[in-house]
Amino acid sequence: MPTLIVFNMVSLDGYFADLNGDMSWAHRQDPEWNTFVAGNASGDSRLLFGRTTYEMMASFWPTPQALTVMPGVAERMNSLPKVVFSRSLKKATWNNTRLLKGELADEVRRLKREPGPDMAIMGSGTIVAQLTQEGLIDEYQVVVSPTVLGSGKSMFAGVTRRPHLKQTRTRTFGNGNVLLCYEPVV
Q: Which amino acid is at 49?
A: F
Which tens digit of pLDDT belongs to each residue from 33-60? 778 877 776 567 899 999 999 999 999 9
Alpha helices in the chain (DSSP H): 31-40, 51-60, 64-69, 71-79, 104-113, 125-133
Q: Are 61 and 77 in contact (CB under 8 A)?
A: yes
pLDDT given for residue 42 in this prediction: 59
CA atoms of 144 and 33, how far apart (whole Å): 13
pLDDT given for residue 57 in this prediction: 92
For residue 176, the tally of other CB atoms under 10 A from its CB is: 14
- CA angle, 70 then 2 then 162, to 5°: 90
Task: For residue 43, give the nearest of 138, 121, 111, 118 by alpha carbon.
Answer: 118
CA atoms of 186 and 171, how far apart (whole Å): 24
- Compute and round to an integer the Cα radius of gyration of the chain: 16
Domain range list for the chain: 4-184
Superfamily, domain 4-184: Dihydrofolate Reductase, subunit A (3.40.430.10)
Which tens digit of pLDDT belongs to each residue from 106-118? 999 999 999 989 9
Question: β-strand 46-50 against 139-145: which pairing, if any?
Answer: unpaired
pLDDT given for residue 65 in this prediction: 94
Q: Are 96 and 79 in contact (CB under 8 A)?
A: yes
Low-confidence ranges of the chain (pLDDT < 70): 28, 41-43
pLDDT given for residue 41 in this prediction: 60
